[in-house]
Chain A
Amino acid sequence: MPTSLVEGNSLLTVDIGSVNTRAAYFDVVEGSYRFIAMGQARTTANPPTNNIIIGVQDAIRNLQNLTGKTLMDDEGRLVIPSQPDGTGVDHLATSVSAGSALKTVVVGLLPDVSLRSIESLAQTTYTRVVETLGMNDSRKMEEQVDAILRYSPDLIMIAGGTDGGATQSLQKLIEVIGLTSYLLPESKRPAILYAGNHALADDVEAALKNISSAVAICPNIRPSLELEDLAPAQSALAGLVMQIREQQMSQLHDVRYLSGGTLIPTAYALGRMVRFLARYFGSDKGVFNVDLGASALTTATSLSGDLNLSVFPQFGMGEPLSGLLRYTNLEEIERWVTVDIPKEALRDYLYQKSIYPANTPANAEELAIEQAIARHVMYLSMRAMTARFPGAFSGEGQFPQFEPIIASGSTITNAPTAGQKLLMLLDGLQPVGVTTIVLDQNNLLPMLGVAAEQNNLMPVQVLDSGALSYLAKVICPVGNTAYGTPILNLKLIQEDGMTSETETKMGALQMLPVPSGRMARLQLRPIGRTDVGLGPGKGMEVEIVGSPLGVVVDARGRPLKLPTEGGARRDLLKKWLSRVGG
């Protein structure tokens, strides 16, 4: 495993998503690693091709066209390692998020303890919990068995019992799982993850290994009642998910072989990078990442060294949209639409997009609807995060302060203007205090996360080279003040010494330009009890790195309130957009 520049190996990373497959090439330029280019193609896991390799080859071919470098031979085989004539690449690393959410059964003892933890673990990857089995389940054993058989699950995740505690209750549940798995046809047997009382681990492995597609035994996620430790189990779960995907997409075997065994779920790779980014940015607030994908929305936060990774398949921007109204209503989405359309048209859009998940918004109306949905699913995911991690997301449901907030996903990064990108994030996440909005324009973070498995120096150097793009420094003051009341005085000091002073009123959305490549300082002097992140009335000075939108002051209030009347609401949304450059 190369860890120094002396070896200077080139690396190709491939991310196989549900809609797109991307291939990124990294190599050493002037002594350090750089992101060179990315090729993209449509994922070919589904018909007509049913072969993910085609999409991978297309993405690499597009990459070859961009770079002029030959990576594959005439028959489409990747040349590994690189050859003296300059063709090929030294290493391949691959991440995968393609495929339907895995039908998952979670098993635990107490609802608020092990069951809650195992559900949290399930939500760190691409699962859909279809059945829950706990100690208080009043169903007969045969009813439990038949309930699970009905779903023919891909994955069963078991937790329960503290290390050194009683085992009898958990054994009964494991007996149900063993019987169910035995009754399923061999080709449909689930993979099983055990993360419960360590005393039972050997027995579980012996009892289940021959009647399941795979078994992973990992450390107890609740070693004591007070302690939850998901991290070791996350790694085991990532491995198990890939084993299931390899059974579903047989060509992944070849990809794993070429990748030297490095094949991990995209969300897991992203989580690894977000944990790393908290150290990289030296953030004392924690780092937040949102990836708005077609099959799932993934959020990752790193707070005080703890990673909170959540995959929301129900909030994906593609196929899951037909089920979105189970979690919200049309009025909630409609309030973000900037064009006048009937509610029914919005509902029809959700369903039509679910059958054409790869469609690109091709006219102004489609773009307006797509961006409205993006805002609302981000908002819904934040609410779900608040419920899932009450410790981290305290404060009346407000978004906690993070630095920076990093966003990816084509709905955001492919939006036509920087203002549209920023407003989607501000409206959807509704951050408070002072933060930096950063775009992962090429969705490189999961690729760097998977690359880190083979080369732990490369992610640092690639980030240093500017792989992420700063969109804006955002100031979101919070206060209980009437609309139009002055709440904040700002003094912007450019690096050439030029200063400008501005007053912010409640309800305003202002932009203070600091062009890319420039630096500045911004003094914030709250009026009254306005809070910019340090507490009511406390001011601060922040360093500003120039970016397309410079500094944006979002004093629209939290939570954002919109006019109920449609015309007035749309006018306001358009006005806000014009305030950030259109």
Chain B
Amino acid sequence: MPAQVVHILPVTTIVRKRLLPVDGQIIVKENQKVSASDSIAEAITGRKHVIIDVASQLKLSPKKAEPFIKVKRGQKVAKGDIVAESGGLLAQEITTPASGRVVVLGGGKIVLETGGSQVELKAGLSGTVTAIIPNRGVIIRAVGSLIQGVWGNNRVDTGVMISLLDKPEDTLEASRMDVSLRGAILLAGHVAEASVIKAAGDLPVRGLILSSISPNAINAAAQANFPVLVLEGFGKRPLSPTLFKLLTTNVKREVSILADMDRQSGQRPELVISLPLSQEPPEPRDDEAFAPGQTVRICWLTRPAQTGTLTQLRPGISTLPNGVSAPAADVRLENGEQILVPLNNLEVLG
């Protein structure tokens, strides 16, 4: 049975596709080295449309109005430009109400694309551009630590990681944040209130790495203009010992939060810690089948996740202590206890 794999790796090679939300312009070249905060592409999003009904304004049928249209598809126009003009003694001029680009001509109408705002796509991780995806983005290859989470707010930023975490089960209070943290990426524990996210935004910080978040703070996190990465899940969940150790030993390093997530494409939100290595370590494996010896995470829904070693795959269907039947495996926890876990609830760490 194929296993879900989650990457928590101190050193690995990371290959990531970085894409614009819409077609745009790529401003880096293949083989170019980029820093995480570099802009690599730009595009205009949120464009609106203006329809100029020439036929109606000239009181003509669409077919008869078309010869009077003076612009072509793709042409840029400024506000007030004449876009149609009827002939004769009582000539009538039609001007544009806004500047933009002609995108459609037909049916006696002109459609302009106007407005919009420029977005720039940051590299998100420091590495080398290995391929250009025309008009959409690039592929970047980098080396560092890779930590995947379970929820992110689809934002990306880079900064120095500062820890506010004394213990894996800490809860972040707004009062812990002061101006000395401005511009940092904060490693924190659980966030219970939306006001904490707001306080982080008021500083502002460059990002938040959280063990867990209460559902009542999710809207605030989703709307924050800095990346929020949740590593363990919803409700109060402590950071696993493995993550606590890996993260707290990398404090004050430059880290990138890529909080993009898309369940359909399988993109998980993640944290990359850049490491200056001369040799490229191997890339992580994304496809694994369950097998004895694997380090696995047991994803409980009502209690914190646990880590253990898969010791035996049970043949067929097993009956769990609560009476439910499911394909399952024996897992030895870090404390030596052996438990039976449904395969559906296991993720392979690697």
Contact = CB atoms under 8 A, between A and B. Distances in A.
Given A48-B286, A142-B48, A352 B235 contact: yes
Contacts of B133: none
Given A345-B302, A347-B215, A48 B287 contact: yes
Nearest to A20: B344
A137 interface: no
A179 interface: yes
Contact of B301 (A44, A54, A347, A359): A359
B194 interface: no
A364 interface: yes
A361 B104 contact: no
Interface stretch (A236-244, A365-373, A469-477, A522-530): A365-373
Contacts of B103: 183
A348 B265 contact: no
A362 B2 contact: no
A526 to B, nearest CB: 37
Given A358-B344, A360-B345, A351 B215 contact: yes
Contact of B344 (A54, A348, A359, A365): A359
Interface in A464-503: none
Contacts of B320: 360, 362
Interface residues of B, number: 44
Given A47-B286, A175-B107, A360-B324, A352 B345 contact: no
A179 B233 contact: no
A465 B49 CA distance: 62
A145 B300 CA distance: 45
Contacts of B301: 349, 352-353, 356, 359, 361-362, 366, 369
B326 interface: yes
A415 B103 CA distance: 58
A416 B320 CA distance: 10
Contacts of A356: 299, 301, 345
A49 B2 contact: yes
Could you say which of A54, A141, A415 has the most chain B C-beta atoms within 10 Å of its C-beta? Answer: A141
B62 to A, nearest CB: 11
A414 B215 CA distance: 29
A344 interface: yes
Contacts of A355: 150-151, 233-234
A55 B299 CA distance: 22
Contacts of A367: 322-324
A169 interface: no
B300 to A, nearest CB: 7
Nearest to B319: A416
A67 to B, nearest CB: 14
29 contacts: A42-B2, A48-B5, A55-B2, A58-B2, A100-B264, A141-B51, A142-B49, A145-B51, A149-B49, A175-B107, A345-B235, A348-B234, A348-B235, A348-B302, A349-B235, A350-B215, A351-B218, A352-B234, A355-B150, A355-B233, A356-B299, A356-B301, A359-B344, A359-B345, A362-B301, A362-B324, A363-B302, A414-B326, A417-B323
The 6 closest A-B CB pairs, nearest first, are A47-B266, A416-B323, A348-B235, A351-B234, A48-B286, A360-B342
